[in-house]
Structure 1
C-alpha cells in the first residue's frame, strides 16, 4: 500500500520518500492504528521532512506512542505541554537528566507538530501556537527545577526589608520576545529571552549570595538547559542579545534597572521589539507588573508618526542585508516577505497604540483585521496581507520541516524545490513560485503605500535622449570629442576616452539583456548630473569606475535609477573626491548609504554608533565568526563613507572628522574585544584574577599615536598595546583550562585576527603592536606590573614620549584606572631638561634623516609630517613639554590629543599664548592639507612654498622651546 502511494508522488520526490520510509521501517512493524488517512499522511510527512524520518529511525516506538495516545490528530489544550513535561520532570534528580528529558520531550512534540502541519491537520496559527506553548513549557518547567536546585544550594533570594514591608521572596521573570512573545514561533526558530528580577537583596538559608549573582547563575543554567547541544540535541537555540545593552550588558537586570534603561537609553528598535514581549516563565504576577512598568516606553500617549521613519530605517537596513548577502530568495527578509507584513502592522501599533488599546496586542493576525477600523486602511489590503502572511508562514514551515534548520531560504536544487511545492499543495515548482510572487507583490505594494513611498524621477530632457543616441551611435574620436564639447564637458578628450572605454569594455559587451536595459535606463540621468559639475570629465572617469565595478550586479543600477537623490549625491561626492569614488568601486554595497541624505550628512554620535552596531549584530549567530567579521567591516566602511561625505561637503570641520573616525574605531574595538573574550571564555572558561575571583575581564586595549590622540584619518592604522592584570600562574575556569598568560596571549591574537584579516569586505584596521614593551620582541600582552616595570626601568625616552598620547580605549574600568595611575607616575617623573632635550632632538634628527625629504628635493618639496617645521616637530614639542613639566603641572598629561595639551601648556605658562596659538593653527592646517590629499588619493610631499609661513613659525618655536 505504502509503495503504491509513493508512486503517486512527483517523480523527483519518490527516491527521498522511499529512503525515509526505509529509515523508519522499524517504527511501522506491528503498528496498531485505525486512522483511515494515516498511510496518506505518513507518505506526505516523509516526503516533506527528513527530520521526522530521522527521529522515527532513532526511536522506533515514538510513532506508536503518538498514535496510541491519539496525539497526532488531537488538538492539545493550552496547558497540555506544561502538564506533560511537569510529569516527565517529577523524578529528575540531576542537571544531566534534566537536559536529557527536555530534549527527548522536544523531539517527540516536534514530530507531532510537523506531522500536523504538513498534513494540514492544523492550520498555520495552530502550528505557531503549539510551538510557542511547547517553548513556554520547556522554559518555565526547566526554570522551576533549576530555581529549586539553586535555592537548596545558595538559599532563597529575598528583597531588602523596609520599615513598612518585610523582605519578600524573589523569583526570576523570563520575557519572551519576537515570535515567541507573540505566540508565533516557527518550526525551527530560536527564542529571544530577557531575564529580570524584582529587587536587589540577598539569599537567605544558604551560603548567601546577592540576588544579582543568584539570578545570573540561574539564568546561565537555564540557557545551558535549553541551548547546549548534547547527545540528545538541543531544546531551543537561545538568544539573549535583546536585553538592555545587548551582549555587553548584564545577563539579568532588576526591575528598576530595566525601567531606567528603557526610559533613558531605549532605542526605536527596542520599542519595536517590546511590542511582542510576554512573560513566558517564572513569576507571572511580577512579570505583568514589569510589562506595565515598561508600557509607556512602547506606546506613546500621543499619535507618534516618528515611527514611520524608525521602521523605514530598520527596513532599509534589512534591504541592505538582502542586497549584500543575496537574500532575494528569503521568504522572511526578501522583498514582499514576512518582515514587511510585520512592519505594516507594527508601524500602526507604534503610531496609534498609545491612544487605541485595541492595537496593544502581540499577535500579528489579531492586529491586521483591526487596521481598517482603527487606522483606515482598505479592507481588501488587510485581507490580502492576512492571506499573504499565512501563505509565507506556511512556506517558511515547509522549508524548516525538511531538516529542522533555522532558514527561510527557498531551495535551489530541483528535489528541494519539488519537496516545498508538494508540501505547499502545488503540482509544480513553477506554479508555487507564481503564487509566491503574486503574494509577495501584494505585500510590497501595501508596504510601499504605508511605509516606503518611492522618490519621483525627474522628467526627461532633450539632452537625456542625446546621451542615449551617443551610446547607441558609432562615432570616431573626433566626433565623440565634439559631442562632449557641445554638451559642456570641461575636457572633451578625457570625457570621450572614459565614455568609449566603458562602452567597449568586455563587461559591457557580455551583459545580459536585462542588465543592458538597466544600464541604458540609468546612463542618461547619470550623464546629466555629471555634465553639471565643474570638473565634469574627471567626475565622469570616477563615476564610470564605479559603473564598471557594478556592471555584473545590475541591481545597483536599479538602485540609482529609482533613487534620483542618491544618484545626485553620488555624482556630487565623486566630483569632490577620488577617494570616495574608489572606495565605492571597491565596495559597491555602500551605494545603499547614499539613499538617506539625512544620515549621509549627519554622522551619528558615539552612543548612536554603539546602538547601530549592536542592532546589526543582534540577529547574527554568535558562533558565525565570518558573518560577524563581514558585518563589522561593512559597518566601518559605511560610517567612514558618511563621515567622508560630511567632510567633503564642509558639513564637518577637520577636528570633528577625526573625532567621528576615532569613535568609530572605539566602538568597533569594544565589540571585537567582546567577541574575542566570549569565544575564548566559552572554550576555556574565564581566567582568574586571584584564587576564586574571576576576571572582569581585567584586560584593556590601550591606543597610542593617532588612536590615542583622537586624530584618526581615513585609512589610519591602529597603534595598540594590550595589558592584563591577572595572576599569570593561575588557570582559567572551564572544561579545557589554560594558563592565564596563554589565555590573554590568545585573546590578543584573536583581536588582531578579527581586525587584520581580509574578507570580501576588506579588513577593519591594520594593527601596529610595536609600541608594546620591548617592541616586536616583547610579549603580545603584558601584565600591568610588567608594563610598569618596563616603563620605569627599561623604556627609552621616545617610549615615554609615545606614552603621552596613550589612553585606554576599552576593557576593564578598574584596570583602566590603575593603568592611568601608572601612566601618570611615569610621565610625571622629574627630568633634567637639558638631557631630555638632547635625547628628543637626537631622535627627531634620526627620523628626519630616514623619513624626510632628501636634501636634493628639500628646496622644492615639503613632507607635511617628517620635514623640519612639520607635524612631527609640533608633536615632539608637545611631548617634550609634557615630560619636562608635568611633575609641576599634572594638567599637561590629563589629555592625550595635541590641541588640548597645547591649551594646557598655554594655561600653565609653559608656552606663551601666541606660540601655543601658532602651533595649534599650524597643526590644524597641516592636518587639513593631509586630509585633502587623502580624499584626492594623493600621496607624497607638497610644494615647499605652499606652507612656508607655518614651517618657519614651527621651526622658530622648536628652537626656542628646546633651547637650540
Structure 2
C-alpha cells in the first residue's frame, strides 16, 4: 500500500469513508490477518457504513487475530460473501467497544450473528432462555448473556429492529437472565428451593418491557411456604435464594458484570425485609405506602420463579394502583417527586442529562404515568406498562392531543435511541450525552446522521428535548414554587404568583425554572445563602440586560454549585463590585465563555482582578506553557497541561471581549471596535502559538529528548500568521526543517515527519475544550505536496514552480514556534516572492482576479445569503483581504509600510502611501472589522464557529447585544451589516477588479 503521507488513493478513500485517523486505519489494513481481504472494496465500503469506521476496523483486526488458524479463513470468507453477517458484525464493532472486547475474548461468538432467517429477526423469551440454558455459574451466565446481547445489538445497529423492539428484547433477555440466575441459586441450595415458593416481580423499565442496554433491573420478591413448611422458615429460605440471585447478576467476575439487581422499590426500601409474603405486601400497601410507590407499581410484572404466586401478586396489587389517584394530594405528590429528581441532578450534568434532566426521558414517562393514573381509574385501555403503548392509548382516548402525542412519541424514540447507543459503546450505565467530539460523531453516525453528524445530532437532540419539556409542562404541571429569595434586604417573601410575575417582567422566559434556581441558591439560613440573597436582586437585573436571562441564571447556579464551598468565591462577588457584574455579563452572553468557565471555575478570580482581563504577552504564555510541558512525565500529560493554560486564557480573552463589548457601570463599552478585534486577534494568536510550541516541545521530548536531529520551525500563515485569529479559527501553518550538522538528510526528514505526526496526535487527543486544528494545506503543492520541506527544498520549489497564489499566501507568513533562527531565514527566503521587485505584471494580476472570482462562485455554501456571509459574501473578509493583498504584492517592493502580515496595518499603510483614498480605506476597514466581530460573536454565542448570522432568535439577539444593538433591533443590525458590506464591495470592485 502507498505510504499514507503521500495521499494514496486508499488514504483518500479512507477519509471519504469516514475514518478520522486514516494513517492508523491504513496500518491496520496492512495487518497480516487481513491480507486476504484488505484490497476488497466491499470491506472498506462496509466499514465506512458503520458508526465509527476506525473502531470497527480495530475490532475486526482484534477478532481476526484471536481466531484459531483454521477459523480465520472461515471468518474472512463469510465476512465477504455474506452481507447480512458483514453488516451485523461490523455494525456492532463500529458501535460497541465493549462487545468488541467480548468477541476478542470469545472469538467463536461471531457465529451467533451468522443466521439471518425470519425466526431470528425477533427472538422471544423462549429463544433467550435456550441461549442461557447451559449457564451453570455466574461466569458462564455472563458469557452467554453477552452472546445474546451481541445478537440484539446487531439487529439494533442494522435497523432490523426499532428502538421499542430493542428495548422489549432487552427486557426479555433480562427476564431470561433472572430465571437462569434463580435456577443457578436453587441448584446451589436445593434444600432452600424445596421449602419455599419465590416469585420475582420486575419493576421499572424491565417490568415495562422497555429496558436499556445497561440499567439496574428493579425487582420485588414475594415469598411463600411450600406445602408442609413453616412460613418463617420458608421466608428465610426465599431470602437466601433472592440474595444469591442478586449476587449472581450483580457481582463482578473475570467476565465483568451483567447488571445490578435493585430491590429498593420493595416496601420500606432498603430498611424493609428483602422478601415478604403476599399478605405482608398487601398490608403494607394498604396502610403505609407512599404515592410514588403506587406509581412504581404501575410497571410491575411477574417474570421469574413461581408463576402462580407471581400472578396472585399482580392480581392483588393492580386495584391498588388504579385507586391511587384518589389519595389526598396525589397529583401534587407526583409533581413534587419529579421536581426533586431534577433538583438532585449535579449542576455540571444537567445540560447533558438525557434521562433525568429537563426535556429528558423522565419528563415523558412522568407525564404519561400521571395521566394514566388519573384517567385509568375508569378507562382500562390505559392500563399499559409500556410508555409508548400508554401514550398511544392516551391519544386514542382523547386525553392527549394527537399532534402532541405524535411529537412526544417521536421525541421519546429519538432520546431512547440516543440512550441506547451511548450505553452500547462501553456497556456502561450512563444517561449523559458525551462531550468529546469523537464520541458525538460516533453517536450521530449511529443515529443515521452522516453529513455533519455532530451538528445534526446536537440540533435534533435540542429540538426533541425542547418539545418534550414544553409538552411536559403542558401535560404534567406548570409549577409555581414559593418565592425563594428576598429581593431586597428585609423584604417579605413574595407569593409564587408575584415572584413569577416579577421574573416575567424582567424578561425571563421560564419563570418557574428561574424560581427553582433561586431556591437552590438562596434558601436556608447559612451564611452562603445570606450572601446570595444580597447578590441575587442585582444579579437578576444584570442577567435581564442580556438576550438570554434564563441562561445567565442557570450558568450562575452552575458556577455557584461548583464554587459554593470555596471561601473566596462569594466574598469576591460581594466585596469586589466589578467581579459580580463582570460575571453576570459573561454568563449571559452565550455558550463559549460559560462552557470554558465550567471546566475551570477557579478562573472566576480573573473577573475581580483589575489586571485579570488584560491579555498576557506571547513571551509570558510561552514561558508558562513550556515550563508546564517540561514538568510533565509524558507527552499526553504535557499537552493536557498546555490545554489547561489555553482553557484559562481563552476564558480570559472571551470574558474581556464580552465585558468590553457590553460595558459595565464602572467601565463603559469599548467605542473602537477595531481595537477590540485587534486585541482579541493578538491574544488568540499568541495563545495558539504558545500551545503549538508546547505541543512541539512535548513531541520532541517524547522521542528525542531535548534535541531533534534537525532544526525545525513552524510558520504561521493566514490569520494565524497575521495575528488575526478568531475564536473559531484553524491554525494555518507551514513546516520547515534543516538537518543538523552530521545528520543524514533522510534521517532528518523522517524525524521532521514524525514530530509533525506526534504534534497532531497530541493536539487531537479527545477534549471538551474548543478544538485546535493545525491546517497545512497552504504549503507548496497544497495537499498533494510533502508536509514538511527543508529550507533548501522550499527555495528550489519557489524558484522553479511557485504560482502566484502561493506568493499571495506567503503575505501573512510569520514564525510562530520552533527554531527562531530557521524561521527568520525562511522569512528572508520568501520576502522576494511576496514582495516581488517591480511589483506584479498584468498576467499575474489577471490570475489573482480570476482566482478570486472563481472562489466567489465555487466556495460559497449552497443556500447561503451572500449579503450576510462574513467570509465569502459581498464586502466580507475575503473581499477586503484580497484587495489589500493585491496592493501589497504590487507596491510593497518600494513601500516598506506594506510589508506586514496584518490586514489593517497594511490597509493603513496603503492609505499613507497614497494608494487608496481615506474614505475608501475607512470603508474597507469598517467592513473587515464588522465581519470579524460577527464571526467572533457567533462563536461566543453558540459555542461553535460559523460564518453567518444565527437563525435562532435568542442567538441572533445575543449577537446583536455583543455588537452594541439594543433588544429588539436585530433587523437594524442586519440592515447595517448589509449596508456596510455593500459599500465595501463597491470599493473592491473599483480597486481589485478595476471596474
TM-score by length of 1: 0.45
